[in-house]
Structure 1
Amino acid sequence: MTWSPVARRSGSTRERLRGALLVLPAVALALVVLGGGVGATVLQAFGLLPVVGPVRPGIGAFTARPGEVGAAVAVSLGVAAAATAVAVVVGTIAAVVIVSRTRSARVVAVLGTVTVTIPHLIAAATVGLLLSDAGVLPRLLGIASEAWAPWVGGPLWGAAIVELAWKESAFIALIVTGTLATRIQTYDETAALLGAGRAQRFRHVLLPLTAPTILIGAAISFVYALGSYEVLWLLGRTSPEPLPVLAVRLFQGVSLDSRPEAAAVALVTCVIALAVVAATFAALRRTASWR
């Protein structure tokens, strides 16, 4: 049994033009704000907008710290990928539980709603107090500090991944629930009447329906984790530094000569984020529900 999406009516030229005009003010404002910031970063990274001294075009800011930038890219990609993978799995399961109308559905929905409203800074501080070697959890379990795994500031960035996965799983659960609540009931009941089991309904009904939503949520979560500063700064290691922490440290350096290097690191982060967004849209075009 397979699920085929309902064909959507394509709007007329007049309707498309009207829709474009309605979003034009917001798009123009976003282009001015983001374009100005990214443009200034590009100019400064390539030496065309120096803070002090003459204009010296070149790529010196990108090659000044190759080892640090390479390590920062590896750490940022690893943390973001791990946190996003956990968030997608947990968030999707939570969404299925919420729309199942069981006794635990309301509890999961309330927990997810509360989690979304907690700022990342407060969540990072909470996770740090919970998982540090002298934190609440080892004290409750009666585990000595030297025997407790280095979650905070450890080599595997465990606390940072836990915080990002916890927060982003609630976000993914929220948007996936919105998709399932409006469309899954009719298809799921029809599939059940046709004799499909739970595993078959999950594979042929739930996943095709939620694939675009999951992909978009995963891309948003990945990009946020990639550029998150406060979580990685509070819960991560001092070396190697992830991209946002390295960029902020260079920008706040005593020497103004490090400003172009900070801009170069920020530009590398932007390029990676844009590549992830482009790959997400390419994957979305291959999904049945998107077509």
Structure 2
Amino acid sequence: MARPLPRPGTAPGWPALPAVVLVLAVVGAGLVTVLLQALGLLPLIGVPRLSGAAFGDVGRDLGTGTALSLAIAAASTAVAAVVGLATALLLTGRRWLGAAAALTVPVPHLVGAAAMGLLLADSGVLARWTGMAGWPELVGGRWWVAVVAEYAWKESAFVALLVAGALAGRLGPLRETAALLGAGPWRRLRHVTLPLAAPALLAACTISFVYAFGSYEVAALLGRASPEPLPVLAYRLSRSIQLTERPQAAAAAVVLVVVGLAVVAVAAVALRRSLARTT
């Protein structure tokens, strides 16, 4: 007698268990080490002693850096979501456009940051082409425009590919059915396209948000020297020659991880509800 096939979503995940355990062990060991350093239980110098002094020493910078990182991640993710969703809708039936969008995905963010700096700087390509006097301070300026632009450019292609993959093979028949029932373009977009794209869009935006919130290289290259986003603050303190600043770097890293996990948890709940509405 043939064994019945598992229902969708209930397939066993045992083959992936060794890799998952290995990743959890490595990441968990790193997180525990950082937490112990931040609490003063694993100092590089001195006697171990439970203390929250590291958080207090860098408290003002932690608040400012967290707010700035959240603002950068939110702005870049919002732009990437709009551009990526529009691109995903254009990808339907256009393989060449999908291939063009995929070209930006393997480009490292470090290379993208260098290219964005050469493009948007006051002596960059756009300033020279336009010949505009008093070119706005887009790189290293007050509003972190170049940082948001780089993240939005890179992540919009990622969003587009994920959403286009989720819509492939499902959107066409449903839109045709809605059109036969008398739904116009806007009603089809609102009641068919957007609900189908919502789970993939939410998942892609969550990944993009957490990455933009936690990475430092783009903000370090294209942003202002002060105030510092949270990842830049943590990296600078970790590279300091003063060993007494390592607990402060660990404290910044702990806040970075906690906020990132909180965002993922909220997004997971929203994603489950979105999937429940579409099934």
Q: What letter corresponds to residue 245 of structure 1 in structure 2? A: V
Unaligned runs of 5+ in 1: 1-8
What's the TM-score, normalizing by structure 1?
0.90
Instruction: After TM superposition, give the deviation of residue 57 of structure 1 in Å.
Output: 0.8
Distance 2:163 2:117 in 1: 29
Query: Are the equivalent residues in 2 in contact too, given 1:188–1:201 (CA < 8 A)?
Result: yes
What is the aligned counterpart of 1:261 among 236, 248, 252? Answer: 248
Q: 2:39 aligns with which of 29, 41, 46?
A: 46
Partner of residue 62, structure 1? 55
Determine the C-alpha separation between the residues in 1 that align with 2:33 and 2:51.
15
Q: 1:193 aligns with which of 173, 180, 186?
A: 180
Once residues 110 and 124 of structure 1 are traced to their aligned partners in structure 2, the CA distance between those partners, rounded to angstroms, is: 22
Structure 2 gaps, min length 5: none
1:94-173 aligned at under 5 Å gives the runs 94-99=87-92, 101=93, 105-106=94-95, 108-144=97-133, 147-173=134-160
Q: Is the 8 A contact 1:284 1:290 kept in 2?
A: no
By how many angstroms is 1:110 displaced? 3.0
Structure 2 CA distance for aligned equivalents of residues 20 and 162 of structure 1: 38
Give the number of equivalent residue pairs. Answer: 274
Give 1:183 shift: 1.4
Sequence identity (%)? 51
**Do the aligned partners of 1:153 and 1:236 also contact (CA within 8 Å) in 2?**
yes
Structure 2 match to 1:82: 75
Conservation of the 8 A alpha-carbon contact between 1:47 and 1:56: yes
| Matches of 1:37 and 1:289, distance apart in 2 | 38
Give the equivalent residue in structure 1 for 2:207. 220
- The runs of at least 4 aligned residues of structure 1 exceeding 6 Å deviation read none
What root-mean-square deviation, in Å, do the aligned CA atoms of Structure 1 and Structure 2 show?
Answer: 1.7
CA distance in 2, matches of 1:156, 1:10: 52
Quote how far apart the aligned CAs of 1:118 are: 1.0
Structure 2: distance between partners of 1:210 and 1:196: 18
Letter of the aligned partner of 1:120 in structure 2? H
2:221 to 230, 234, 240: 234
Residue 262 of structure 1 deviates from its aligned partner by: 0.3
CA distance, structure 2, for counterparts of residue 112 and residue 270 of structure 1 = 31
State TM-score, norm by structure 2.
0.94
| Aligned with 2:28 (options 19, 32, 35) | 35
